Structure 1
Amino acid sequence: MNFIVYIMKVSSCLLQGIYHQNIVLFCFTVFCSFLGFSQSSNQNYIKTTTYKVASAAKLPAEPTQEQAAVGVVYHDGLGRPFQKVYKNQSNIKVITHIAYDGLGRQAKNYLPFLSLQQNLSYEADAENKTMVFYEGDWHINTEIPYSENTYENTPMHKVSKSASPGEGWETGSGHEIKFSYATNTSSEVTRFDVSLDSNLQPTLVQNGFYAAGSLYKNVVKDEDDHTQIEFKNKQGQILLKRQVSGNVNHDTYYVFDHYGNLSFVLPPMLSDKTSISNLDLAKLGYQYKYDNRRRLVEKKLPGVDWVYMIYDRRDRLTLVQDGNLRTSSNNFGTQGWLFTKYDVFDRPVYSGFYPNNTDRVALQNTLYSISGYTGNNEQITSSPFSASGVSVYHTNSSFPNANLTVLQINYYDKYPFDMPTIPSNSFGHPHITDDFTAQQNTKGLLLATYIRNVENNDWTRQYTRYDHKSRVITGRTVYQNGGYTHVDNKVDFRGVVLEDVVKHKRISSEAEISVGNKYVYDNNDQLKSHSQKINNGLEQRISENIYEELGLLSIKKVGGQIGATPLQTVRYSYNIRGWLTDINNYDYFTDNLYNQRIYYNNLKKSSLATGAPLNNRLFNGNISYSETITKSDNIRRGYKYQYDGLNRMTHADFFEGVFIPRTTPDGSFKEHLAYDKNGNITGIDRTGQKLPNGSILAIDVLNYIYDGNQVVRVTDDTNNPEGFKDGNHNGNAYSYDAMGNLKVDHNKGITDIKYNYLNLPMEIVLSTGKINYVYDASGARLKKIVTPLTGPVQTTDYLDGFQYLNGVLQFFPHKEGYVKKTDTGAYLYVFQYKDHLGNVRLSYGDVDADGSIDSSTEILEENNYYPFGLKHSGYNQVANTNRSESAEKYKFGGKEWNDELGLNLYDFGARNYDPALGRWFNVDPLADQTMEPYLYAGNNPIRYTDPTGMAKDDIIHINSEGYITKVVKAPGNHIVVNEKGEQLKFNDPNFDNQQLDKIIGSEDTRYTADWSGSDKTKLFTTFSNKQMSDTFNNIDVRGINNNYEIAKAVKWLGPPLHMSEDIYLGKLGVREGKFDFADDMATVTVRGGNANITNYNYPPDGSGGFIKFQNSNTLYNVYDAGNFMTGKAFNLIGVDLQRGLQGADLHSRATFMGADSKADQRAFTNGYNYKGIKWK
């Protein structure tokens, strides 16, 4: 990344940053001469120029949009931003006005508007111009083009109301988000405590109620008055989350020990009990145990056996064992542990299974007795050892080192000795080598990963090649049978992929398939066009995108040859909050095969219908109605949705006809649900189509019976096998293994399911046959073998998107659908309409190659769903023989429908989902975050999706520079995913998620919703090892080290010098001492352009986004980044880690900031152990 930040100073202070809860002003004395920048010389500003092209000559002061992206933020005399300016993809100036009230609070956040001025100068009278813009010809008109905060009349400046843009959400509408602050009353919050014995084993203790006024009480009511209440103690720990639905409290308690460790979580059905037994805890509670270093060593989810964890002296997780691994009934056939080994830089180098029946405490002691702090590391060697059918080029010197089943191997810095020959360049760009004498080399990079199949000794080998900027330009995956998938990338100056070529073979003897992609971007780095070519065929349009001037995708042209008329032109519309309202023109559909309209609080827009306004207006983002119409029969259909106070969908009522939703639902295709307090479905009333005699087909009237959160029986009062099939009328139908995975399902005739150590099914035995699966150690599914009792065996291979049936290629995907290989060997491009959730709704292809779609013959598949994913039947059941049967199994959520032998489950990757029951049959791997072990999408499947079968959290996609590229909105915590699909961690998940709530939440109120343009949002700034080294050298850490050695030496001379070491260390760590890096880290976030929260409602650990240290995949807030740096500084001068931690904790207590949190000490420890820093 190459950028320049210009800072213009016209008053005494320019920028402000936030350190913890105190305001720190940064006064820069940088003066920049004007070189024709066209900024306003009478304003403070920061101009950021991000260069897009390489140039041997100096680029002009006013670069074109093709040369650079330029943005300017103007600041007032207090350093507060008050105007943001950039150019959009059409070279039109975009201005965002920021206003403050008389007390300096950001009362209003204005939506951006357009200006015809050609430069980036300060726009006078921006507030009035914003109002005029949105009252004028812009396609969304409003008199409320801003969000607005109302504050309490107190010195704390707390927000009491937060109103969003647009009529219906404005201040005074009653549909603001409302905040109130109080303290608890007596008998309002039950007091749960933790009693620890001498072995740190926790016991839950109920001690009456918290005294009145001892807890902070924060009440939040959303736009539809759904209430959530949080009670916090004076340490900021949330003790109770209370959600209210119909005046009924749903209480989740969080119980901490006196060290601040979360020990128990009590969901509503457990916290309601007057007395909680150990059996209650086992079935419904979340339990955690810690060692004397506050490391999590045992964890238990509801209905799941304990998971044990063992660490080495460097706090690296070394061994893990779950309930299935404590038995011999796992895929390894013996009791044991999963192990991970590390190199000296704490990088995982290989992992696998270690057979051992020793208990956790004894094995932890064994590990400690043989492992010093500097030991227990692996090193690369040219003399490999053999394990699991592969040569491992590591020393095998660390614990454990005997009887290992190796499952995954990583090679860093140097390529493995058995690497095959790979071309030395990609699109003419040379790869860097592992020759460390070269100026650019592979040191510090992951170069190869070998992954074993779980079920056998076959290995998949993945190799990665980089260019001189350490960007991935070649990846090669080699299969056991000699096949491969090879990817070459052509990147530009910034690392953006302009072209790629995928070359694939299933086995070495087959012909290679080559798939080439070209990508074109507009001036704001938004994808403008994507084309594709197979082998030497004609270039095919995948998509051409047109964006409206404020950044939202407006038109997408899909399919057809380059230069020809597209097969479909898809149009998108949005409301003032950026929420999708239309796919294509629902009122006046012509050639569009699929049309959808989504209602929130909006009135009926259709000119085809008249009558009273909708009576189901919702303001909090829940969808009130949805309507669709397809070319299959041109009939309008839709649903009306209703929700309870916890935003769980309770009613979905179906409409059909011209004037929906003003017509009365006739009772067909409905889905009504009821829930218990934990969110488990207790009943479903589901109907089917309207029959010729006018009656409605009753499909399901289901009643669920539970043991804890695990359903053990479901009865169907209709006895209709459509939908749910009640195949078991006597006793319980379901049973589970130690990890909460479904083992038996008598309703489907499943007599046994065997799982591997990843809790993925290896074998499913049914009354009609069996299904076997093969996975690699990363959890990727490679093969499915269906063996019926009678008939042929069917084998499906899954190889990096290329899917085969019995050795014959069926299809491979592209961004807008899939490519089918026909019986003649030709390739048919199939395109798909997906709804707002990504459910596949309609597939089409130009079968006769005439450049257009005939809806009567070239619609290949149509799917219509109940809200929880069961497919409608009785209409538009297209079965075109030109489709790929294998590809069309990917339906709800874009996931594969496994209907072989009557299994009828969707495979979401991490778990399997049953749409007839609306729940998973495996526990969420992240259940301790969601508190929903078996629930799908938080029981709101119309608003949210579950892309992987894990948590229903926000998924925030970021690029390598820290900019947000896409956000998949969902409730719960936030997940940050980089370009490689790797999840980044947060050092302090609690406080960091509070900051993300404000960053992502505030962005959600912007109409632009543009995550990729010049006005893009930066989540983190990377702090390189060189920058860290320079920081330490600038404070003369060498001199500090020398002085510290002197202080240690003279203390032995006795009083008054006996305290010299302690005094010297204390002086280093005090506020504004040499080892206080808080201001440095805040400056990094400001100069890096991170998103900043500019009102008084700061999160506990400050604003300013995050810092990512070069060799880490963890994000640190400003406060914790300072702790990280302090830890490293003390390491450099030789201070013992434990002494440093104790000193940091004592300093926090002495300065009345309270004891260090686990996150504080974790950041200090991680910094202390950080490698790769050079100092003079």
Structure 2
Amino acid sequence: MEETTSTHSKTGQSTITSVDKFTYNQVGALSQATNQINGGATEVIAQNIYNDIGQLIEKSIGGKTNQNRLQDINYIYNVRGWLTDINNPDNKGSDLFAMRLYYDRDTHSTNATPLYNGNISQVMWSTKNTNSSKFYYFYHYDHLNRITKAQFAGGGWWDRYSLKKVEYDKNGNITKLERKGWTNSAATSFGTMDNLVYTYSGSGIGNQLIKVQDNSNINFGFKDVNQTTDYTYDSNGNMTRDYNKAINTNMTYNHLNLPTYIPINGGSISYYYDAAGVKQKKVVSGGATTEYAGSFIYKNGSLEHLNHPEGYLEPDGNSFRYIYQYRDQINNLRLAYSDLDGNSVIDHSSEILIEKNYYPFGLEHMGYNSTINGVVNNYKQYQGQEFIEDLELNIHEWKFRISDPTLGRFWSVDPLAEDYRFQSPYNFSENRVIDGFELEGLEYVTVHHIMNGGTHITTLPATEYYKMTDSEINEKNGTPAGNYNAASYGPEGKGVKHVYHNRDGSYTGPYEDGTVRWDNRRINFQTAAGNHGLYSGAGSITNYRGGQDYNFDFQPIDWSDAIAKRHDEDYETARANADGPGASYIDDVNTYQADLDMIERLNTFTSGGKVEGIETPYRKTSSREMELSLKGQKIVISALAAYKKWKIDNNYGNDTSFETLGQKFYKDDFLNALIISIIYSSNE
């Protein structure tokens, strides 16, 4: 996609026209994004630079096209591809934010847990805000990588914002949590803020939280009203009352277990959703009405802000002001800034709008660098989620559930709880909260194949669903979300993990009993092009390893996979109906129309239209991985179509191959020839 134009109209408001333009480098990675509102000056949202293996190493942010960029963000990685630095905390220069991640080191002898699996042992950060000191968290974990302690230091303060202790039961429910923090409303006194003891249903062995006792007797952080029973639930496992938050009568939920009515502190908050569960409106009694229209957010009928990839815009008289945000390794908002005077230089003393720092599980620090310059925007904060502080509710709203950062738990059951019986359905990110995103479910699929020796007998239905973090994917030598994962949802390719069960116990070989087949790792454009863009079911047209016949029984993972599956089905039909010799999927001119049809479906889907003739996928929502997959599919299939059209126009048939025609095609269409050559060499 190179350009999109969006026109937004609302009764009583001026029409807004937003033009976004995108340019890509030679391997299809985004190199620049710009935005223009209502025909005004064009703003450069981001300019990206990548290294030779596709890692983003520099991002230049903000400013008009005739101005300097406002911030240059540099990224450094270790030899395993793990992020180690966002800018340089030892020498910030004009950088407003800098962070360093340590995986296997304890630089201050705090007994932080050294790790070698991608989890983070220590973090250091610094900003150009009022207090520009270096701050640290030193993390401690148990053998399941669950957080047990986070030691804070920096600014001459030791322990001030520490998570001193976290203990769990056998299901991963938190049983004890001790947190240091502020002990007065001005956040000028500090000590033990929370000393929590959790009590659960079923005489303490269930998963539903019944009561939390705060032995600190401090009502900052968690607020304890000392009820005998603090929490109640409905028959679906949704929390209905929280007496500690003054939710003293029942909340109500819809059929998707999303809250529709929260009575709190003598008032109420009402939510309205569309049929897919996307929030459309929030109404606070005696307060504001917020309407959500995609990227456009309205408060009390007036536009509050409009999102862009690196932050948001807010109305500024008859024009708009661009706000930009620094985010950390798990997408937490850390600092927002804006060129308020328009001179293309950020003055850290007046143009930093807000800074956010968090405990594990998402509770915000108070007492330093907390001055807000301008209008508060809570829309995308901890892990990119909206923070709701209306009527002192103080929760994070996720797509499927709500979490309480003071407790480190969700209000409702995981939608995939049946597939994760080894842990509590209320756990937050499996208590691995430093390097792991809360994935919100529905990520991967396991498929079981029955073999007889090396012969494929049958494939069982895909019924097992599971989740993996980027770190876990890397640990298995897979490909996490990124520039080159264009078809992957992990090391299995398009979300499919193939497990083989051999009926002949004496057989040893590629498909002996218990074998798990991981897809090829995608670490650059060559490995990506050779393994993406096509349906991943058994016998797909790029699957030479399994040797099975076509099998289109598996339900697609998402819309990208559904479009690819239809493409493979069209390939098979074209080959079956063709006269004359066949050829590889790269050279077969009989499949040219199938490529054109896939490109049309991709264009229709990415422009918001309804795509006809494809199977409804398992996951109907969008994701970062799906967006990358769609982009990669378009690059590769467009190159295939261009090559086949060139063959047809020049009267070349299936008896000629790219191996012999490549040099001629290079002369006529260098870029597409380069892509085809990479695909061709990776499939030899």
- TM, length-normalised to structure 2: 0.68
Higher strand fraction (1 or 2):
1
Say which of 874, 891, 897 aligns to 2:367. Answer: 874
Partner SS, residue 1029 of structure 1 = helix
Identify if the C-alpha distance between structure 1 residues 1085 and 765 changes in structure 2 by more than 3 Å, giving closer, same or farther: farther
Deviation at 1:621, TM superposition (A): 1.2
In the other structure, the counterpart of 1:724 is: 222
Distance 1:623 1:560, change over 3 A: same
* Alpha-carbon distance in 2 for matches of 1:650, 1:702: 14
**SS of residue matched to 2:433:** coil
Displacement of 1:998 in angstroms is 2.7
Letter in 2 for 1:893: Q
Q: What is the root-mean-square deviation in Å for CA atoms of aligned residues?
A: 4.0
2:64 corresponds to which residue? 561
Distance 2:469 2:525 in 1: 13
Matched to 2:380, the amino acid is: Y
| CA apart distance, 1:766 | 1.6
Instruction: Give the share of equivalent positions with the same residue, in percent.
Output: 34
1:505 maps to 9
Q: Distance in 2 between matches of 1:745 and 1:587?
A: 45
Correspondence 1:360-439 to 2 at 5 A: none
1:812 aligns with 2:306: yes
Which residue of structure 1 lines up, in the alignment, with residue 259 of structure 2? 761
Q: Aligned equivalents of 2:400 and 2:442: distance in 1?
A: 10
> Cα offset for 1:929?
2.4
**Letter aligned with residue 643 of structure 1:** Y
Q: In 1, distance between residues paired with 2:34 and 2:187?
A: 51
Q: 1:998 aligns with which of 508, 518, 521?
A: 518
Question: Is 1:802 equivalent to 2:310 in the alignment?
Answer: no
1:621 aligned to 2:118? yes
Per-residue deviation, 1:669: 2.9
Matched with 2:632 is none
Conserved? CA contact 1:533–1:539, under 8 Å: yes
CA separation of 1:603 and 1:742: change in aligned 2, threshold 3 A: closer
Match of 1:581 in 2: 84
Per-residue CA distance 1:147-174 (angstroms, 9 max, x = gap) = xxxxxxxxxxxxxxxxxxxxxxxxxxxx
CA distance in 2, matches of 1:522, 1:644: 43
Distance 1:1011 1:868, change over 3 A: farther
**Other-structure match for 2:196:** 702
**Structure number with bigger Rg:** 1
What one-letter code is carried by the residue in structure 2 that aligns with 1:888? N
Give distance in 2, aligned partners of 1:503 and 1:981: 33
Aligned 1:1002-1041 pairs, distance under 5 A:
1002-1003=521-522, 1008=523, 1020=535, 1022=564, 1023-1030=567-574, 1032=576
Matched position secondary structure for 1:991: strand
**TM-aligned CA distance change 1:990 to 1:920, over 3 Å:** farther
Letter in 1 for 2:426: Y
Q: Cα distance 1:928–1:685, how it changes in 2: closer, same or farther (>3 A)?
A: same
Q: Quick one: which of 938, 941, 960 aligns to 2:433?
A: 941
Asked whether 1:950 is paired with 2:454, we answer no
| Corresponding residue of 1:1097 | none
1:226 is matched with which residue? none
Query: Contact 1:924 / 1:951 at 8 angstroms: preserved in 2?
Result: no
Report the more deviating stretch, 898-907 or 811-820.
898-907
- Indicate if the aligned counterparts of 1:671 and 1:867 stay in contact, CA closer than 8 A: no
Cα distance change on mapping 1:850 and 1:986 into 2, 3 Å? closer
Structure 1: runs of 5 or more not aligned: 1-496, 605-610, 659-663, 955-966, 1037-1079, 1089-1108, 1116-1176
- Tell me if structure 2 keeps the 8 A contact 1:519–1:529: yes
Given candidates 20, 23, 26, the residue that maps to 1:517 is 20
Residue 642 (structure 1) aligns with: 140
Whether the 8 Å contact between 2:54 and 2:524 is mirrored in structure 1 is: yes
- Counterpart residue type for residue 402 of structure 2: N
Partner of 2:470: 969
In structure 1, the partner of 2:593 is none
Residue 1026 of structure 1 and its aligned partner are, at CA, apart by 3.9
Taking the aligned partners of 1:603 and 1:718, their CA distance within structure 2 comes to 30
User: Which amino acid counterpart does residue 356 of structure 2 have in structure 1?
Assistant: N
CA distance in 1, matches of 2:531, 2:403: 36
Correspondence for 1:930 among 411, 415, 420: 420
- Find the aligned partners of 2:83 and 2:163 in 1 and give their Cα distance: 24
1035 and 559 in structure 1: CA distance in 2 versus 1, 3 angstrom threshold: closer
Q: Mapping of 1:206-221 within 5 angstroms?
A: none
State which of 322, 325, 328 in structure 2 corresponds to 1:835.
328
Task: Say which SS state the counterpart of residue 572 (structure 1) adopts.
Answer: strand
SS at match of 1:506: coil
Q: Among residues 615, 621, 626, which one is paired with 1:1112 in the alignment?
A: 615
**C-alpha distance in 2, partners of 1:773/1:571?**
40
Q: What residue is the counterpart of 1:895 in the other structure?
A: 385
User: What is the alpha-carbon distance in structure 2 between the residues aligned to residue 666 and residue 968 of structure 1?
Assistant: 29
Q: CA deviation at 1:938?
A: 1.1
Contact 2:62–2:324 (CA<8 Å) still a contact in 1?
A: yes
Q: How many residues are matched?
A: 516
> Taking structure 1 as reference, are residues 1013 and 852 closer, same or farther at Cα in structure 2, changes over 3 Å only?
farther
Check the 8 A contact 1:748/1:766 in 2, yes or no.
yes
Counterpart Cα distance in 2 of 1:995 and 1:927: 26
Change (3 A) 1:694 1:795: closer
Q: C-alpha distance in 2, partners of 1:590/1:987?
A: 42
| CA displacement 1:913-946 (0-9 Å, x = unmatched) | 1000001001111112233411111101101111
* Structure 2 residues not aligned, in runs of 5+: 446-467, 502-513, 541-563, 590-611, 619-684
Q: Distance in 2 between matches of 1:826 and 1:992?
A: 60
Distance 1:753 1:992 in 2: 47
Which of 27, 30, 38 matches 1:535? 38
The one of 549, 556, 572 equivalent to 2:75 is 572
Residue aligning to 1:293: none
- For residues 583-622 of structure 1, the aligned pairs below 5 Å read 583-601=86-104, 616-622=113-119
Map Cα deviations across residues 789-814 of structure 1 (whole Å, 9 max, x no partner).
xxx44211001120111001000110
- Change over 3 Å in CA distance of 1:1015–1:953 after alignment to 2: closer
Secondary structure, counterpart of 1:999 in structure 2: coil
CA distance in 1, matches of 2:500, 2:76: 33
> Does structure 1 conserve the Cα–Cα contact (< 8 Å) formed by 2:112 and 2:122?
no
- Give distance in 2, aligned partners of 1:921 and 1:776: 21
Counterpart amino acid of residue 519 in structure 2: I
Q: What is the match of residue 962 of structure 1?
A: none
**Contact between 1:861 and 1:888, CA under 8 Å: does it hold in 2?**
no
1:747 partner SS? helix
In the TM superposition, what whole-angstrom CA distance separates every residue of 1:318-350 from its partner, at most 9, and x where no partner exists? xxxxxxxxxxxxxxxxxxxxxxxxxxxxxxxxx
Change (3 A) 1:992 1:705: farther
Q: Aligned partner of 1:564: which letter?
A: Q
CA distance in 2, matches of 1:720, 1:582: 37
The answer as to whether partners of 2:183 and 2:220 remain within 8 angstroms in 1 is: no
Does residue 1:863 correspond to 2:407, yes or no? no
**In structure 1, the residue corresponding to 2:91 is in which secondary structure?**
coil
Letter in 1 for 2:300: N
SS in 1 for 2:10: strand
715, 723, 726: which one aligns with 2:213: 715
Matched, 1:747 2:244: yes
Task: List aligned pairs for 1:117-132, cutoff 5 A.
Answer: none
